[in-house]
């Protein structure tokens, strides 16, 4: 029997749910060890982003379309970036913080490797816990 190398997960969020919290909870519930965002479309009434090299996040209230969401997803931590547009089409993006509240929906598709393990560890290259990619099975050469 051949082992799966890739899985695909799809789910939908409803009004009032928190985008980041729900993705993290989904990763925990499905025990995703090495995942990534394949697609996300939807809308927000509140956005909380951190811009490049900023210490703190910025909270935006209004109506926003989710233009894109990308990043890694794992039970060991998620790292997500988002682009959103306002009612005039002005687009802004940054690091996804907590408290991004769904307006009508968010349709999310996550891909998962069955052969890899994502962790987040200090490796000395930066001050942050960075992505470390490891074989799920130590016998794999990666």
Mean pLDDT of the chain: 93
Residue 117 scores a pLDDT above 60: yes
User: For position 140, what pLDDT does the model report?
Assistant: 54
Domain holding 25, by residue range, is 13-114
Average pLDDT in the 30-42 region?
A: 97
User: For position 12, what pLDDT does the model report?
Assistant: 98
Taken in order 117, 11, 90, 49, the sign of the CA dihedral is negative
Alpha helices by DSSP H, listed for the chain, are: 19-29
For residue 125, being part of any structural domain is answered with: no
Of 18-27, 74-83, 113-122, the least confident: 113-122
For residue 131, being part of any structural domain is answered with: no
Q: Cα dihedral angle (8, 12, 16, 19), rounded to 10 degrees?
A: 20
In CATH, what number is assigned to the domain containing residue 58? Answer: 3.30.1330.80
Q: What span, in angstroms and rounded, lies between the C-alpha atoms of 76 and 80?
A: 13
For residue 121, being part of any structural domain is answered with: no
For residue 128, being part of any structural domain is answered with: no
Q: Residue 19: helix, strand or coil by DSSP? A: helix
For residue 56, being part of any structural domain is answered with: yes
**pLDDT bracket for residue 4 (50, 70, 90):** confident
Beta-ladder partners of 132:
119
User: For position 139, what pLDDT does the model report?
Assistant: 59
Tokens of 105: 């929906």
For residue 53, being part of any structural domain is answered with: yes
User: For position 136, what pLDDT does the model report?
Assistant: 83
Supply the pTM of this predicted model.
0.89
Residue 101 scores a pLDDT above 60: yes
Of 42, 116, 121, nearest to 79 (Cα)? Answer: 121
For residue 130, being part of any structural domain is answered with: no
Residue 33 scores a pLDDT above 70: yes
For residue 120, being part of any structural domain is answered with: no
Of 133, 79, 67, nearest to 106 (Cα)? Answer: 67
**pLDDT bracket for residue 72 (50, 70, 90):** very high
User: For position 137, what pLDDT does the model report?
Assistant: 72
Number of domains, the chain: 1
């Amino acid at each position: 029997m051949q082992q799966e190398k890739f899985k695909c997960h799809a789910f939908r969020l409803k009004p009032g749910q928190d985008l980041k919290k729900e993705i993290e909870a989904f990763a925990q519930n499905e025990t995703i060890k090495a995942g990534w965002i394949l697609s996300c479309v939807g809308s927000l009434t509140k956005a909380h982003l951190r811009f490049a090299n900023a210490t703190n996040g910025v909270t935006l209230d209004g109506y926003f379309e989710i233009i894109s969401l990308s990043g890694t997803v794992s039970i060991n931590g998620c790292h997500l970036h988002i682009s959103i547009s306002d009612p005039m089409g002005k687009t802004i993006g940054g690091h996804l913080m907590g408290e991004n509240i769904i307006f009508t929906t968010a349709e999310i598709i996550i891909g998962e490797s069955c052969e890899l393990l994502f962790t987040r560890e200090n490796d000395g290259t930066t001050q942050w816990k960075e992505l470390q990619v490891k074989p799920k099975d130590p016998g794999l050469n990666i």
